[in-house]
Structure 1
Amino acid sequence: MVLRSPRACMSLPSPSQWKYDVFLSFRGEDTRIGFTDHLYDKLEWQTIKTFRDNEELQRGKTIAPELLTAIEQSRFAIVVLSPNYASSSWCLDEVTKIVECMETRGTILPIFYHVDPCPTYETELIKEIVEVVWNKVHPTLLGSAKNLVGVDFRVKEINLLLDAEANDVRFIGIWGMGGMGKTTIARLVYGRVFHNFEVSSFLANVREVSAKHGLVHLQKELLSHILKKESTNVWDVYSGTSMIKNYLCNKKVLLILDDVDELNQLQILLGEKHWFGLGSRIIITTRDQHLLVTHGVEKSYELEGLNEVDALQLFSWNAFKKDHPEEDYLELSKCFMEYAGGLPLALTTLGSFLYKRSRDAWTSALDKLKKAPNRTIFGTLKMSYDGLDEIEKRIFLDVACFLKGYNKEGTIEVLDSYGFCPRITVDVLAEKSLLTISDNHVCMHDLIQEMGREIVRQESYEEPGRRSRLWHRDDILNVFTKNRGTKTIEGIVLHLPELEEAHWNPEAFSKMSKLRLLQIHNLSLSQGPKYLSNALKFLDWSWYPSKFLPPTFQPDEISELNLRHSKINRLWNGSKYLGKLKYIDLSYSQSLTVTPDFTGIQNLERLVLEGCTSLVEIHSSISVLKRLKILNLKNCESLKSLPSEVEMESLEVFILSGCSKVKWIPEFVGQMEKLSKLSLDGTSIKKIPSSIERLIGLISLDLRDCKSLTCLPSVICGLKSLQNLNMSGCSLLGNLQENLGEIECLEELDLSGTAIGEPPSSLALMKNLKVLSFRGCKGQPPKSWHSFLPFEFFAGKSSGPKGLVLASLKGFCSLKKLDLSDCNLCEGGIPDDIGCMSSLEELSLSGNNFVSLPASLRCLSKLWELNLESCKSLQQLPDLPSNRTLHVKADDCTSLKILPDPPMLSSLYKYFFRAVNGFRLVENNEGCNNIAFLMLQKFRQGVCHSVLKFDIVIPGSEIPDWFSNQTVGDSLMVERPPHLCNSKWMGFVLCAVFGAQENPDLLEFDYFGRHPCGILCYLEIAGSYQFSFPIPDAVLHHSVGHVASDHLWLLYFSFKHHRYENFLKDSCSQVEVLFKPFCSVQKNTCLKLKKCGIHLVYGEDVEELNRKMNQSNSSISLYNAMDVPCCYFEKSSDAEGAVVKRTRKHCDEEEPSAIGSSESDKESLRKRLKED
């Protein structure tokens, strides 16, 4: 018995209504009893409708008309060719008709039956036949397989959950929002594994069938699948449950329950795991994740939207009947793709609707979608809304209309003020796939949001004032300018991107008696409202136009009052009892002069008065606010005095930053252990009260720019929870307590710009200290300090220039960031044991006067950033650590001549070296050239395949010769060579020459006195699709804005691990690089791109590029166009190495030698170096 594959692919014919799936042709006397019977039963069992002739059919010399008709009405034919098949004229007539009808379609499956089969072999053969036929018959349930995009990965993931080898019973859930393709994925899984089970059933549309016909109907449908009967007697759910359990308890079952929305559907259809035999698998698709959890489904798979590539492909299959858009429709296709948000239902519906329509029709359809959603999409998504209770519906509509994108806790607080029990309801909506919580924010798919807003619009299409919620600018302006508001309105939210002026009817709020939410941003009105609803629970109105709230406004229900940038002079006179008010924010209300009496608002939790520049007085009743958590008085510049003492047991944050006229702060009374942040920066305080010791929970103390502060109280060392102490800019602060190191929890200490020259030795005891800054500390240490330091932590000098002179850094084992910039450190000022700082990641030494750095720098195994900018005396660098990532900034190191050997390339991941205005490097040696080209060369030889990027900036004005693609200007396009289609393409080497604009004096400076200019690098990739994206980390910032001459930017970018890696390797045909200058403070930029180049890096060109890079003329081409001489250096054989430099005279006298020249030449150059 041999099973042969069909002659051609069993492709489906043009639309026809087939009566039978399979016509079974056989010689009755050979196989009717036995093989054919078993095959027929198995086909019928798997719902494959099969025709076979009846023994009672009248046999004659010619084939019966019934059989000819049955053949014509069958999609496929199985011909069992047994030994006596050809001896029957009847069979020959059958097969002739079959060939006539089906040969061109390739839908004939011949089976050669010529041996006596053993029962086991026959069973396996029948199983294989049924599987083949099933896969040909049932794809029509899903449409054309080529139109199913992005499903393979998802099916594979679910198959992992199924784990066919495990001999247990498993319930698997597939959940996600409507239209995501749950049913499609479930059908695909079912079609691929059903043949491994004794019983299989796919119950579709459980939600719809249950709603229309009831649970008993569902049980009947399942039993009819199991028993292969069209009708089964089920009297009630209990008898149905018993029958299902009895029939399936000993069988290996595959059961799919599609679109389940109620727990009782699961309880009466699949109950518990013991209802099924070992090896059974039950798959449930639903929009409600919690339903799966409740029923004990341990393994579930969340189905998410398609990525951009798959989404465009799926849309194209429906809109163009191919896997990519027409060129003229690409941008429009992307617009529809963006609208769909990766939702397969929307992509297929919109694509099919747009098929064969004109561009004008496409544009019109897009405009229409902005006004009203597609009915099919809306109807599918709305089913989830229809299943909510009334409170869930109200919260869903509030989120869809107003609160999408807000912080979760803030959203819950707003909704809680309405009495909606939001915490549990938000969780329910997330479980029902109607919203998501991402990064602690309430998110919602755009089409779900549109569905919710359409529900509100349907309340009254013609009259926005008769809707419950308003959010659209035009609708709101229509209501308020024409006074068309009604009591139906519950919420209004108007967010304008920029400040606009408008003229509203001041009576417009008079009819909105049920208004509970009012939020208006960036609207400037000529006059304020005469009425506000007393039902308001949330009032957020920036630029509120009146000096006072309406006199009739009784905000008894108000929970949050935000009037930022308002013209409010005072909130109210006297005291008001507002027991529900928790938040007041009047920030930047510059007309506010006094705060209200707080006596009647005992539940106030947050008071924000930041930027109220006219505020001169804080009412004394503020000290009685026992539940106040946040008090923000930042930049209240006119505020001079505060209550003499505060006793706020709930206070967590107290901000006085920028209150420049405040000279003293209140005494802290009582238990205030919850206060974690105290910001006094920019005040005029001269001392800190000793009562600060009561703040035992204080984590952050900010004293920046307290110019009058001369010392700290001794009790500050008792703040055992303190983690951040910032005293930068306290220019009169010259001493610290010797026992400051007792603050063991301290993680960040900033002493920048203080007068401290002798830091206490106890700092080394801070085992948790991670950030330490002495930036700008140039004080002179006292003469006597070094005589009694126990371990010579700091050594003072009796005379000499001001500056911080360090002796030992051994104790700082936890330090990650050290800033010693502008400390007037001279040669030897950095301790040799700096390499002992085993955790150090960032080291800033910029603006100092040393000539060299300690060799132990190479031992900083975690260092990834070294800042040496403006170290104008620095002449050489030691060997650098061989870390995964290393950034070296050496801009304006005008004396730097000698660079170290490149770090170990085999471990390198990212390497950045920048030497803007480092001309001595070019004049004296080839150090930077060596690093740049050796790294590339090593990479090409396979030494450092881990490298993803390196980036070097050095003086130069020419693109290296080995860049075969280079041009004048800021952009360049190259074609990918055809012979590289199957090559190991690894990335790009890019190069740009840039310089200063002709009139830099016309440009503005930033806060640091720099031209805040830079360069971004973009790639435009074209192929089957087109993408544009900035190269990660490919950006030059700030200091490149003051280049003294032309500079060269050389960078390598690998697309290893990039999100478009596969596309770049497989489908990319064209690459365009664009270098784009930018300025962060103005439109004009101080930089000009002059030249650029691109080189494609791939495995096959290693030898060729190495040859080019080793040639002398190519190696020096980087500097040939400069007006400075150049030479090469080569590592010597001794341990320390040597650098060979060439003077202008030497370069003029003889030809330069290439890297790799003879030993005699090298020795000659070394001698000249010593002579120089």
Structure 2
Amino acid sequence: MHTLFVEGESSNSFQWRYDVFLSFSGEDTRKNFISHLKFRLCQVGICTFIDDEEVRKGEVISTELEKAIEQSRVSIVVFSKKYASSSWCLEELVKILECRETLKKVVLPIFYDVDPSQVRNPIGYFDESLTRRFGAQRTEKWKTALTKVANLSGWDSRNVVYGHESELIESIIKRVLQEVSQTSLDVACYPVGIDSSIKDLIELLFKSGCQEDVRMIGIYGIGGIGKTTLAKAFYNQICRHFGSSCFLSNVRSEAGTFNGLVKLQEKLLHQILKTKDFEVNDVAEGVSLIKARLGSMKVLIVLDDVDHISQLESLIRERNWFGSGSLIIVTTRDKHLLCGLTTKEKFKAKLLYDNEAMQLFSCRAFNSFFPPHEYVELSQEIIKYSGGLPLALVTLGSHLRGRSVEEWRHEFVKLRAIPHSDIQKILKISFDGLDYDTQSVFLDIACAFHGFFEDEVTKILNACGFYSESAIATLVQKHLLHRAWHRLVMHDLVRAMGREIVRMESPRDPGKRSRLVIPQEVCYVLQGNKGSKKVQVLKVDRWTLKGVNLSTMAFKKMKNLRVLIIEKLHISGDFELLSKELRWLSWQNCPLKYIPSNFPAKNLVVIDMRKSDIQEFGLNLQCCKSLKRLDLSDCKSLKRTPNFNGLQSLEFLLLNGCSSLRKIHPSIGNLCRLRLLNLRGCKKLMDPPSSICQLKSLGWLDISGCSYIKTLPVDFGVMPGLRTLSALETDIKQWHGFVEMPRHLESLKVGGENLQGKRRSLGRRVHWIQSLSTSLSCLSLIYCGFSETDIPRDIGKLYNLTYLNLSGNSFRCLPFDFSELQLLCSLNLNDCEDLETLPSVSNLKYLRTFEVANCRKLVNITGLENLPSIERINMLNCTSLQNPFKEGFFSAPALAFPSREYPHLGIEIYLQSNEIPDWCSNQVTASSISFTMPTHNKEYQFLGMIVWCVRELVKVPSSGPWQGFGFSISGEMFSGVFSRYDNVIPAEHMELSCVLHRSYLDTPFEGAIKGGEKMELFELSKYITVKKIGIHLLYLDQQGKVTSLPALVDHSHSQINRSQDLNEVSLEQESRDGRSILKMIRASFPINPLSLYLSVSVYLLFLMIVLHYVAL
């Protein structure tokens, strides 16, 4: 079955004009068999095309007949004795066969009073008719068509019982009805992006096992993402491969009606069995009937919009309810529901990329794939607002259609405040299905905690009485929330839906809403003392009440306030008036010098007062028994910590950046649950108290930048829970005092550039390095002055090491090799100025970054071509290094067929060179290059591209160089960032080579490159001048050998730096299911106006767009 899937038509299914096309010889069948067949076809309502001309003139079939064949779902070919005598019939047959192969038409042969073998291998009267009338040379294609069609399953009139024609005709009618009764479901006016998802679904089915098994697959995703559209399109494409099929739409709403599950069971049975001769009385009877009647049938069933396990159990509980080869598809918003299926196949519906979103929106708004010139900027804003959600794009496109630019502006302002009701209605369905606690957690996150760390949010919400872990898991399963880098993130429209729910609690009186976050409404409530006991969450940004002094009276009526988030706001008065229900206080940039003693802190879980003017605590923390997090980072005036006694629940203490802090209270040793202590950048902090060694739960300690710390307690080395220690840029002289480091240490960072004058002494004194645990995964010993004798060979045995940084040391070689460091992902040896040789890196299969910048004596590096995961190599200022990037380097299997998680991200190499090697033959001395992709046949597969450019940094920007390439494809302007790093900063006016290799094999866009495409590459950064640029195109031939094909370079191309023409280059990076996306830029180039203003989304690295935008 899968083979047939692959051959399926596009999701934008062909619109059939006729059900059946009849191909026959009128001379011997029109007035008998064809007449009877046509009558019966019309009698059962089958739309049939039949050529009524008695005599066909000429030997080429008419355009009308060709169109009729193309527009008919089924072709019936009646082979009679005179059939081969008509060139017209034979040409029809060739056309029918062509449509079968291209449009997947059904062809049914009928052998009317002829032997099928004589048609299959033309002999007898068939061969005589062909050869005598038309000659052997001309009939070759007809014979081929006859053979192919005659090999298809059909009917032999001679085998009909007693030769009764009526029996034959009834058998034909029954088969035709099976084909044409599978009416295509209406998918969408503009099914943008559907085809790629169907391809992914097919691939998932390929991986799911034997095609004879009963398979179940779930499609899940946020409301409005297009699950139903995808399911319908997939159903249309594959339903004809099944004996019977059924698409049950709106299962959620149907099941919610009286006797709804029973009605759904009846509908399923009626559609599959094509009869209504029975009724289902209850669910149990329906289950029995489904098992009994469908157990031997190969069926396709789609359950759309399932929201409860009972629906699955009543309709498709077990695989053995259905016959071999059956396929069951379920769409749902709740991923967890799919656990009720006996399947592992789950498909996540995808948001649209910006180019697809622009197409869909423009089709709805303008009936065109691109917006008119004057609407481009607003269209881009709406695309961004919609976040790739098809529901929003379709709804807003239809809503704005036919309106002026000014009306668009007004409507968009309104949409930002009040979501469109149609979008709100669909998205709110998921919210309505939640229990009260989960709804509250959702609204809290939507209004206050979007983008916050999950660990922090769960503690706060648990303290508010919610079971937040369970609620968050439910929200993630229902796609109302997702995790990104340990933070909780919502789709913008889902977040807007939550805020709209809160607004509707009291549309006219903000003070009576549960959560206040809209700046204007917050001002109205606080300045007018309009709050009420209904307010639970209040969030004020730093600009909302800038320069306003508030009285605590503004909070008096808010007796149930749980969360208070304010910034740079001056509040005076009696703080006892604040709610005693407060769980989280975030008051960043607080202007108070101390926290008032009467502050209601009993139930506080988090105190976040970063960047405040606090000098000391007036508040007695002994009452804060629930406090888990105290964040006083960057409080520049804080000189000493409070007494920590009584904070038995404290887990996180952040004092980083407190540059005036001199002393930590000894009571810190009583914080039995403290897990994290951050003292980074406390420049005046003296040696910590010995009681710090009593912190048995402490797992993370950062004292980097504490330049006054000279010693650590002797017992520091036996702290049982410490996993991470960062002690960069300290003045600790007693490292030698430790017999060993903490036994279970996983990350250790020691050293710092300010220690360069003390390198030798530090190196000789450090004996504990030899006792490092094999559990260590991160080791950084930078600027410690280590020679090769100071670094023990045992580092080479730390087999769990993934990150190793030995920058700024004095060794000439490493006393260990990398044979046991096979998990290493990052190796940094920058600024090792005495380094001369390195062991081979060929076995580092997971190495992603390799840094050896400023290793001026390093001569040779071996094994680079064997690094399948490598993404970045920095060799700047390696003046003695032999260039390892010879011809054929990038053709090595590890690089040509990478095993990186995201192969398309490619490799970036920086090295000291002002020349492009000769093997990179397509090169120009210019700031950009224009070329035509080589035209090649299918014996070559495009693998990737190497771009080698000589660049000069004209000026070092304050934030590091923004390095990027723009490129155009046949006149369309796009941009993409080649360099993902901003710390490769050479000296001004120093020339360097940047080598950028991109692989397209095993990516979502594999095989999509097309020959003959005109391309142009150019630097975008205003800080960089490109002196020379070259390209090298890699292909795979049929023998499996990597080779290069030359591109046609336009040497007359302008040498003007195209970056000077840019109006503005702005990039915005977003996270989607853990993967980074970069936005399109607007640029002014002398090209087609639509191309000029087209703005679409691209993947992180530039040539990905090529593969997405063009077809093979």
Q: Secondary structure at the match of 2:762?
A: coil
Corresponding residue of 1:813: 796
Q: Do the aligned partners of residues 361 and 110 (structure 1) sit closer, same or farther apart at CA in structure 2, a change above 3 Å counting?
A: farther
Taking structure 2 as the reference length, the TM-score comes to 0.69
409, 416, 421: which is aligned to 2:455? 409
Distance verdict in 2 for CA 1:161–1:384, change over 3 Å? farther
Report SS of the residue matched to 1:138: coil
* Aligned positions of 1:719-730 closer than 5 A: 719-723=742-746, 728=751
Structure 1 position 380, deviation (Å)? 2.2
Match of 1:853 among 817, 832, 836: 836
Partner secondary structure for residue 846 of structure 1: coil
Shift of 1:504: 5.2
Shift of 1:1028: 1.0
From 624, 627, 631, the counterpart of 2:649: 627
Q: Partners of 2:281 and 2:306 in 1: how far apart? A: 23
Aligned equivalents of 2:814 and 2:726: distance in 1?
Answer: 33
**Partner AA of 2:670 in structure 1:** E
Q: Aligned ranges for residues 761-772 of structure 1 at < 5 Å?
A: 763-764=769-770, 766=772, 768=774
Aligned match of 2:133: none
Equivalent residue for 1:987?
945
Which residue is 1:935 aligned to? 886
Task: Find the counterpart in structure 2 of residue 591 from structure 1.
Answer: 614
For residue 1016 of structure 1, the aligned residue among 959, 963, 966 is 963
Tell me how far apart the structure 2 counterparts of residues 347 and 311 of structure 1 sit (CA, whole Å). Answer: 7
* Partner residue, 1:114: 112
Deviates more, 1:657-666 or 1:281-290: 657-666
Match of 2:466 in 1: 420
Correspondence 1:675-824 to 2 at 5 A: 675-679=698-702, 682=706, 684=708, 687-692=711-716, 695-701=719-725, 707=731, 710-711=733-734, 714=737, 716-717=739-740, 719-723=742-746, 728=751, 753=759, 755-756=761-762, 758-759=764-765, 763-764=769-770, 766=772, 768=774, 804=787, 806=789, 810-814=793-797
Amino acid at match of 1:882: G
- Quick one: structure 1 residues 358 and 157, their matched pair in 2 at CA, closer, same or farther if it must change by over 3 Å? farther
C-alpha spacing 1:757/1:199, structure 2 compared with 1 (3 Å): closer
The partner residue of 2:829 within 841, 844, 861 is 844
**Secondary structure class of the residue paired with 1:259:** strand
Q: CA deviation at 1:608?
A: 3.5
- Equivalent residue letter for 2:761: A
SS in 1 for 2:217: strand
CA contact (8 A) 2:626 2:647 kept: yes
AA matched with 2:876: R
Mapped partners of 2:1045, 2:558: distance in 1: 79
Deviations 1:148-203, CA, capped at 9 Å, x for gaps: 5544324414644776732x444433222222222233333333443444443222
> Structure 1: 5+ residue runs without aligned partners?
1-8, 15-19, 53-70, 87-106, 531-548, 733-749, 779-802, 887-905, 922-926, 998-1002, 1007-1011, 1079-1087, 1110-1172
The answer to whether the 8 Å contact 1:949/1:1052 transfers is: yes
Quick check: 2:831–2:855 contact (8 Å CA) kept in 1? yes
Are positions 1:203 and 2:248 aligned together?
A: yes
Q: Which of the numbers 368, 379, 386 marks the counterpart of 2:432?
A: 386
More off after superposition, 509-518 vs 322-331: 322-331
Quote how far apart the aligned CAs of 1:1073 are. Answer: 0.9
Find the counterpart in structure 2 of residue 1047 from structure 1. Answer: 991
Secondary structure of the 1:501 match is: coil
Decide which of 222, 236, 239 is 1:194's aligned counterpart.
Answer: 239
- Report the 3-state secondary structure (helix = DSSP H, G, I; strand = E; otherwise coil) of the residue aligned with 2:665: coil
Secondary structure of the 2:616 match is: coil
Q: CA RMSD in A?
A: 5.4
C-alpha deviation, 1:473, in angstroms: 1.9
The question of 1:880 aligning with 2:861 is answered yes
Shifted more, 936-945 versus 580-589: the winner is: 936-945
Q: TM-score under structure 1 normalisation?
A: 0.66
In the aligned structure 1, how far is the partner of 2:619 from the partner of 2:256?
58
Counterparts of 1:1035 and 1:675 in 2: how far apart (Å)?
34
Contact 1:912–1:952 (CA under 8 A) maintained in structure 2: yes
Q: Is 1:291 aligned to 2:346, yes or no? A: no
Equivalent residues in 2 for 1:73-88, closer than 5 Å: none
Say yes or no: does 1:1071 pair with 2:1012: no
Of residues 146-155 and 435-444 in structure 1, the stretch that sits farther from structure 2 once superposed is 146-155
Amino acid at match of 1:440: H
Confirm or deny: 8 A CA contact 1:319 1:356 kept in the other structure: yes
Superposed CA offset, 1:344-369 (max 9, x none): 33333334455566555555554443
Structure 2 unaligned spans of 5+: 1-11, 49-67, 84-104, 114-155, 162-167, 899-905, 1038-1042, 1052-1112
Q: Distance in 2 between matches of 1:685 and 1:1050?
A: 42
Secondary structure in 1 aligned to 2:620? coil
> Could you tell me how far apart the structure 1 residues matched to 2:336 and 2:804 are?
50
Between the aligned partners of 1:1014 and 1:660, the Cα distance in structure 2 is 30
Report what 1:342 is aligned to: 388
Question: Equivalent residue of 2:223, what SS?
Answer: coil
Change (3 A) 1:218 1:395: same
Matches of 2:552 and 2:981, distance apart in 1: 54
Larger radius of gyration: 1
C-alpha deviation, 1:325, in angstroms: 5.3
| Aligned-partner SS, 1:370 | helix
One of 808, 812, 815 as aligned partner of 1:830: 812
RCO (CA 8 Å, sep 6+): is it higher in 1 or 2? Answer: 2
CA distance in 1, matches of 2:607, 2:665: 19
Contact 2:746 2:778 in 1 (8 A): no
What is aligned with 2:852? 867
Residue deviations 1:656-694, cap 9 Å, x none? 555566555434399643233445552645644445466
Of residues 342-351 and 985-994 in structure 1, the stretch that sits farther from structure 2 once superposed is 985-994
Change (3 A) 1:663 1:654: same
Distance in 1 separating the partners of 2:917 and 2:694 = 69
8 A Cα contact 1:672 1:694, kept in partner: no
Instruction: Give the corresponding residue for 1:568.
Output: 592
Q: Distance in 1 between matches of 2:431 and 2:357?
A: 25
Q: In the alignment, which of 252, 256, 260 is matched to residue 306 of structure 2?
A: 260
Verify the 8 A CA contact 1:583 1:604 in the aligned structure 2. yes
The equivalent of 1:225 in structure 2 is: 271
SS of equivalent residue, structure 1 residue 813: helix
CA distance in 1, matches of 2:748, 2:872: 33
- Given that 1:486 and 1:512 are in contact with CA atoms closer than 8 Å, whether structure 2 keeps it comes out as yes
Find the counterpart in structure 2 of residue 746 from structure 1. Answer: none
Q: Distance in 2 between matches of 1:661 and 1:146?
A: 60
Out of 915, 937, 955, which is 2:877 matched to?
915
Distance of 2:920 and 2:730 partners within structure 1: 57
Which aligned pairs between 1:382-781 and structure 2 lie closer than 5 A? 382-496=428-542, 500-502=546-548, 507-521=553-567, 523-525=568-570, 528=571, 530=573, 550-553=575-578, 555=580, 557-573=581-597, 580-594=603-617, 596-615=619-638, 618=641, 620=643, 622-634=644-656, 635=658, 637-640=660-663, 642-643=665-666, 646-656=669-679, 663=686, 665-668=688-691, 672-679=695-702, 682=706, 684=708, 687-692=711-716, 695-701=719-725, 707=731, 710-711=733-734, 714=737, 716-717=739-740, 719-723=742-746, 728=751, 753=759, 755-756=761-762, 758-759=764-765, 763-764=769-770, 766=772, 768=774
Structure 1 distance, partners of 2:430, 2:591, is: 45
- Secondary structure of 1:599's match? helix
Say which SS state the counterpart of residue 475 (structure 1) adopts: helix
Cα displacement string for residues 448-506 of structure 1 (whole angstroms, at most 9, x for unaligned residues): 22222223333344443343322222232233344444444332223458994345576
Residues 627 and 518 of structure 1: CA distance in aligned 2, closer, same or farther (over 3 Å):
closer
Deviation of the 1:1029 alpha carbon:
0.5
| Aligned residue pair count | 918
